[in-house]
């Protein structure tokens, strides 16, 4: 492998949840190795709530308002640590040399805020040494270490953020977030089945959609990509597809960009990113008489009871999507 040609790839919980998923993830890694890349792999904890090593499952063991943040951080970090060891072992058994790292041993430094830390730097020496020796570096997402040596976690979506930050500090040539969907769609395809997957999207548009509730990539990961001026790809672990490239576009598309939904109290905000959204706020209000509608910048939102949100997203898509 050429240690000067680096890819950082992140696999979420569903991509490492079981042997079948890990086999698909290893296939993606093999594609990069054949293309001559050295790889740093960021992994989330295995599976979702209810799975034995999922973050929420581990956290339930110490649930209580009196549990120290330090305790919560340490037990939550165990899910990714288990995942990194299991995945590195699976790679080795497939003939791919791999070394697991925790956030601390990978040199990921944080500001020390428990449960919501920010990545402040990275001592890349150990990871680069592993890559130079021909190993895949399998690194725990979602965590790092403070100046005082405390394990700290990055909050929800932290593994996405870990991946982009590690890529930035390593000077990676490609950064990919692998998930269980083929890329970024104009709307959640579970809600709008005809929603199209995008080949590319501007990073500011993606950041706005993420803040409005689109769950494919965490907002802090997109902010990190902007900070490092680094494109980020979203691709499926389970099929070889081009995916979606998130980057700063010179020419942003006019009109409709996408739709997101987010719970706000007793209601859902169904929001549409549309260039200069005030131009279409009146038309949105006509579609939902009596519902509060607001527009700011490139977003227009309508507040509705949760039971009506999916139908509202489909109505907006039919009315405005190109």
Q: Are residue 20 and residue 151 in the same domain, yes or no? A: yes
The pLDDT value given to residue 108: 98
C-alpha–C-alpha distance, residues 230 and 172, integer Å: 9
Which band of pLDDT confidence, cut at 50, 70 and 90, is reported for residue 315?
very high
Q: Are residue 84 and residue 175 in the same domain, yes or no? A: yes
Strands 256-264, 232-236: pairing kind: unpaired
Q: Nearest-CA neighbor of 303 among 270, 265, 274?
A: 270
Please report whether residue 293 resides in a domain. Answer: yes
Q: Are residue 261 and residue 167 in the same domain, yes or no? A: no
Please report whether residue 147 resides in a domain. Answer: yes
C-alpha–C-alpha distance, residues 90 and 160, integer Å: 22
CATH of the domain at 152: 3.40.1160.10
Q: What are phi and psi of 212, to 5 degrees?
A: -85, -5
The pLDDT value given to residue 296: 95
C-alpha–C-alpha distance, residues 218 and 319, integer Å: 28
pLDDT tens by residue, 118-177: 999 999 999 999 999 999 999 999 999 999 999 999 998 899 999 999 999 999 999 999
Query: Is the pLDDT reported for residue 268 higher than 90?
Result: yes
Please report whether residue 229 resides in a domain. Answer: no
Which residue among 123, 153, 180 closes a domain?
180
Please report whether residue 303 resides in a domain. Answer: yes
The dihedral sign for the CA sequence 77, 44, 225, 258: negative
Q: Are residue 23 and residue 149 in the same domain, yes or no? A: yes
The pLDDT value given to residue 299: 97
Q: Are residue 37 and residue 123 in the same domain, yes or no? A: yes
Query: Is the pLDDT reported for residue 63 higher than 60?
Result: yes
Q: Are residue 164 and residue 21 in the same domain, yes or no? A: yes
The pLDDT value given to residue 144: 98
Please report whether residue 62 resides in a domain. Answer: yes
Q: Are residue 157 and residue 8 in the same domain, yes or no? A: yes
Q: Are 204 and 164 in contact (CB under 8 A)?
A: no
Please report whether residue 230 resides in a domain. Answer: no
Please report whether residue 197 resides in a domain. Answer: no
Q: Are 247 and 222 in contact (CB under 8 A)?
A: no
The pLDDT value given to residue 285: 97
Query: Is the pLDDT reported for residue 207 higher than 80?
Result: yes
The pLDDT value given to residue 312: 97
Report how many domains make up the chain.
Answer: 2
Please report whether residue 240 resides in a domain. Answer: no
Q: Are residue 171 and residue 23 in the same domain, yes or no? A: yes
Which band of pLDDT confidence, cut at 50, 70 and 90, is reported for residue 240?
confident
Q: Look up the domain containing 161 and give its range.
A: 2-180
Q: Are residue 174 and residue 57 in the same domain, yes or no? A: yes
Q: Which residue has the higher pLDDT, 138 or 241?
A: 138
The pLDDT value given to residue 65: 80
The pLDDT value given to residue 132: 97
First to last CA, the chain: 44
Q: Which two tokens stand for residue 173?
A: 């040539």
Which residue among 151, 180, 209 closes a domain?
180
Rg (CA), the chain: 20
CATH of the domain at 269: 3.30.70.260
Which residue among 127, 157, 180 closes a domain?
180
* Secondary structure class of 62 (helix, strand, coil): helix
Q: Nearest-CA neighbor of 32 among 3, 7, 10, 4?
A: 7
Q: Which two tokens stand for residue 83?
A: 């995942």
The pLDDT value given to residue 64: 78
Q: Are residue 271 and residue 161 in the same domain, yes or no? A: no
Burial class of residue 36, CB neighbours in 10 A (0-12, 13-18, 19+): exposed
């Amino acid at each position: 492998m050429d240690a000067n040609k680096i890819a950082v790839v992140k696999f979420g919980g569903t991509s490492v949840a079981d042997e079948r998923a890990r086999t698909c993830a290893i296939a993606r890694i093999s594609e990069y190795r054949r293309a001559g890349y050295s790889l740093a792999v960021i992994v989330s904890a295995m599976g979702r709530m209810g799975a034995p090593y999922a973050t929420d499952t581990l956290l339930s063991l110490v649930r209580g308002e009196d549990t120290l943040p330090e305790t919560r951080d340490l037990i939550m970090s165990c899910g990714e640590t288990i995942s990194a060891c299991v995945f590195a072992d699976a790679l080795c058994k497939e003939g791919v040399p791999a070394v697991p790292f925790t956030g601390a041993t990978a040199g990921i430094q944080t500001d020390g805020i428990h449960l919501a830390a920010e990545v402040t730097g990275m001592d890349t020496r150990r990871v680069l040494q592993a890559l130079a020796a021909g190993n895949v570096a399998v690194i725990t997402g979602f965590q790092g270490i403070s100046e005082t040596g405390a394990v700290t976690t990055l909050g929800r979506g932290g593994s996405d953020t870990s991946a982009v930050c590690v890529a930035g500090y390593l000077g990676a040539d490609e950064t990919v977030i692998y998930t269980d969907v083929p890329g970024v769609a104009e709307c959640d395809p579970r809600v709008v089945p005809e929603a199209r997957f995008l080949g590319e999207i501007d990073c500011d548009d993606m950041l706005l959609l993420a803040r409005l509730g689109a769950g494919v990539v965490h907002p802090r990961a997109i902010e990190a990509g902007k900070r490092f001026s680094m494109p980020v790809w979203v691709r499926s672990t389970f099929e070889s597809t081009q995916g979606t490239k998130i980057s700063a576009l010179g020419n942003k598309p006019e009109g409709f960009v996408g739709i997101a939904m987010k719970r706000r109290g007793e209601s859902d905000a169904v929001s549409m990113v549309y260039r200069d959204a005030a131009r279409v706020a009146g038309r949105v209000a006509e579609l939902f008489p009596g519902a509060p509608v607001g527009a700011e910048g490139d977003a227009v939102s309508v507040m509705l009871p949760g039971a009506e949100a999916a139908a509202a997203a489909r109505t907006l898509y039919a009315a405005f999507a190109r």
